[in-house]
Amino acid sequence: EAPPPRPEYGTPIEVLNRVFGYDAFRDGQQEIIEHVANGGDALVLMPTGGGKSLCYQIPALVRKGVGVVISPLIALMQDQVDALQALGVRAGFLNSTQDFEERRVVEAQFLQGELDLLYLAPERLRVPATVELLDRGTVALFAIDEAHCVSQWGHDFRPDYLMLSHLHERWPDVPRIALTATATPATKQEIATRLKLTDARHFVASFDRPNIQYRIVPKTDAKKQLLHLLKTEHAGDAGIVYCLSRSSVEKTAEFLTANGIEAVPYHAGLDASVRAANQSRFLREDGLVVVATIAFGMGIDKPDVRFVAHLDLPKSVEGYYQETGRAGRDGLPSTAWLAYGLQDVVNLRKFIDAGEGDEQHRRRQSLHLDSMLALCETVECRRVQLLNYFGQPSEPCGNCDTCLSPPESWDGTIPAQKVLSTVVRLDRERRQKFGAGHIVDILVGKKNAKIIQFDHDSLSVFGVGSDLRDVEWRGVIRQLLAQGLLAVESNYGALVLTETSASVLRGDRRVMMRREPERAPAKAAAKSA
Ligand code: ADP
Ligand code: ZN
């Protein structure tokens, strides 16, 4: 039979004060909590750090029975449960890391009404015994955390999430609350459909993080650029530096340490004990820098992270936004800084083409990358573009690099034609594939060994690009890739034309480009371009 309600928990505001020790609700929390506490279904979109957890924890404490939280973040469950227990909340979890005996203890607690919250990995619901267990106890609500994992179009799809649509059929009277920090309007719709949240109220918080200053700079020497940023603007600050590969994580951490900045590495290849030690140092100490792959940060709740730096291009705007969202949870000014270059685009395009998965999967990844590139190459406010992506129109923010020093846009049609003509000529040499570096060498007329070997100094395009410098040509090629006017061939990383290239070559299409304010090409060169 059902356990008696726990009167000591009281109303939502009382729980907030007494159990969690906070004075007031944050924007949006109270409405969500009251709606769910009264038995309503909810779909909650709130940015990272917005305070989603309380939105299901408090209703779970207010309602009779156990709040069942479905979460894919198995590695965090122990920490989450420890934190709740420290507040006097009776919490437990069930996932694949436990042995039979550990699970049995938690199951008994659940059945005897000795739990307020039960964290559950989604794959547990595949096991009939788990379903039977839930049937025998009293469930106060289902919270579906990281709900975007149900979206096949999203960046983080988990097949087990598809089963969560059955929750409603099996337990029609139990309210459900689905939460995510990464939903675009289309993803939101998909979540509602797939989880059968037909009658759910939608709560959409503002995704703006006004205290975060977004900056995206062209990559020259990423580590040196990072060092400059830290020395000039973030001396002694805690921050996270994201790199794509484990080896660049290690090298960057060593580089920072060698240059007098306390930094520790974090990636999945490190010993679990080293990872745990580095993570807990980051949480406890002031001013430590963690250099990490994206394996780091999920559920990390450190309020005074002053900067998040990306040394490589993230694969999607969702990922970028989630990672940068770890800065400035305390509301104080913080920096989101990204260095991105031509090689990033080449690498990611190659990676997508060569990657596993079907055609649809590749197209999806490609669209994600396109949105990320559009953000990098925009001449408009970064924040307007970001918020637009999440379906929230806004005005230029005055606190991003493009607002603070607006880049000019320039007509890059002629340089674009020069690049594309070079690609056309090289394409005739079937046996050999050439990358961006070689194309730049041809354009600026560099007689190096490879040029001479292939007799490329006799091409009509040899030296036609002496009006721009190497870096500027790389910028032109990067932007052509970003705009889909040039593509990367998957095997060799050679540059190839796309269906839209022809319109540029024919002169039917103008190509507008972004000029970086800090390294603008000489005026004369730009005019002749
Ligand atoms: P999210 O899951 O949306 O990323 P969390 O639920 O982890 O965010 O909350 C982020 C931080 O904000 C946590 O430290 C949490 O304790 C704190 N927090 C949430 N709600 C409040 C509140 N009403 N008052 C003060 N702090 C809050
Ligand atoms: Zn702006």
Q: For 236-254, what is the HEC assignment?
A: CCCEEEECCCHHHHHHHHH
Which stretches does DSSP call E strand in 453-511? 486-488, 495-497
Residue nearest to atom 2 of ligand 1 (CA): 52
- Ligand 1 atom with least separation from CA of 46: 3
What spacing in Å lies between the alpha carbon of 294 and ligand 2's midpoint? 26
Report d(CA 13, CA 195) in Å as an integer: 29
- DSSP assigned state of 7: G
Mean pLDDT in runs of 10 for the chain (529 residues)? 57 94 93 97 90 96 96 87 94 94 96 96 92 96 95 82 92 96 84 94 93 96 97 97 96 98 96 93 95 85 94 93 92 96 89 80 84 90 91 92 92 96 83 84 95 93 94 90 83 82 94 73 35
Specify which residues 338 forms β-bridges with.
216, 310
Beta carbon of 53 within 6 Å of any ligand 1 atom: yes
Report d(CA 265, CA 245) in Å as an integer: 11
**Which ligand has the nearest atom to the CA of 402?**
2
Report d(CA 515, CA 526) in Å as an integer: 10
Residue nearest to atom 27 of ligand 1 (CA): 51
H-helix or E-strand spanning residue 68: strand 66-70
* pLDDT for 392: 87
Structure-block tokens of residue 331 = 């509301």
- Ligand 1 atom with least separation from CA of 325: 4
Q: What is the dihedral of CA 216, 155, 489, 225, to 10 degrees?
A: 20
Beta carbon of 234 within 6 Å of any ligand 1 atom: no
Specify which residues 70 forms β-bridges with.
120, 144
Closest CA to 194 of 154, 221, 236: 154
Ligand 1 pocket test: pick from 20, 76, 79 the residue with the most ligand atoms within 8 Å of its Cβ: 20
* pLDDT for 526: 35
Half-sphere exposure of 406 (CA within 13 A, CB side): 10
Q: How far apart are the first and last CA of the chain?
A: 80
Beta carbon of 56 within 6 Å of any ligand 1 atom: no
272 Cβ contact partners less than 8 Å away, ≥ 6 residues apart: none
424 Cβ contact partners less than 8 Å away, ≥ 6 residues apart: 497, 505
H-helix or E-strand spanning residue 470: helix 470-482
Closest CA to 352 of 455, 235, 493: 493
Beta carbon of 51 within 6 Å of any ligand 1 atom: yes
- DSSP assigned state of 148: G
Residue nearest to atom 20 of ligand 1 (CA): 51
Global ipTM: 0.98
What spacing in Å lies between the alpha carbon of 372 and ligand 2's midpoint? 16
- Ligand 1 atom with least separation from CA of 181: 3
- DSSP assigned state of 415: H
- Ligand 1 atom with least separation from CA of 48: 4
423 Cβ contact partners less than 8 Å away, ≥ 6 residues apart: 439, 486, 495, 496, 497, 501
Structure-block tokens of residue 8 = 């000591």
- Ligand 1 atom with least separation from CA of 53: 6
Beta carbon of 301 within 6 Å of any ligand 1 atom: yes
Beta carbon of 22 within 6 Å of any ligand 1 atom: yes
Report d(CA 479, CA 494) in Å as an integer: 16
**Which ligand has the nearest atom to the CA of 378?**
2
Beta carbon of 25 within 6 Å of any ligand 1 atom: yes
* pLDDT tens sequence across 97-129: 899 999 999 999 999 999 999 999 999 998 899
Residue nearest to atom 24 of ligand 1 (CA): 22
What spacing in Å lies between the alpha carbon of 521 and ligand 1's midpoint? 46
Ligand 1 pocket test: pick from 54, 321, 323 the residue with the most ligand atoms within 8 Å of its Cβ: 54
Beta carbon of 92 within 6 Å of any ligand 1 atom: no
Cβ-contact 305, 290 below 8 angstroms? no
pTM of structure:
0.81
Report d(CA 265, CA 254) in Å as an integer: 9
* pLDDT for 153: 73
The residues placing their C-beta within 5 Å of ligand 2, an ion, are 381, 383, 397, 400, 403
**Which ligand has the nearest atom to the CA of 384?**
2
Report d(CA 511, CA 198) in Å as an integer: 45
- Give Rg (Cα) of the chain: 26
- Ligand 1 atom with least separation from CA of 16: 23
What spacing in Å lies between the alpha carbon of 379 and ligand 2's midpoint? 10
Tokens 């800084």 — which residue? 337
- DSSP assigned state of 359: H
CA–CA distance from 134 to each of 67, 138, 196, 275, 402 (Å)?
11, 7, 20, 35, 52
Specify which residues 239 forms β-bridges with.
289, 307
Ligand 1 pocket test: pick from 16, 26, 76 the residue with the most ligand atoms within 8 Å of its Cβ: 26
CA–CA distance from 261 to each of 229, 294, 308, 446 (Å)?
12, 21, 15, 39
Phi then psi for residue 305, to 5 deg, are: -75, 115
**Which ligand has the nearest atom to the CA of 394?**
2
DSSP string, 152-165: TTSSS--GGGGGGG
What spacing in Å lies between the alpha carbon of 28 and ligand 1's midpoint? 12
Specify which residues 44 forms β-bridges with.
179, 203
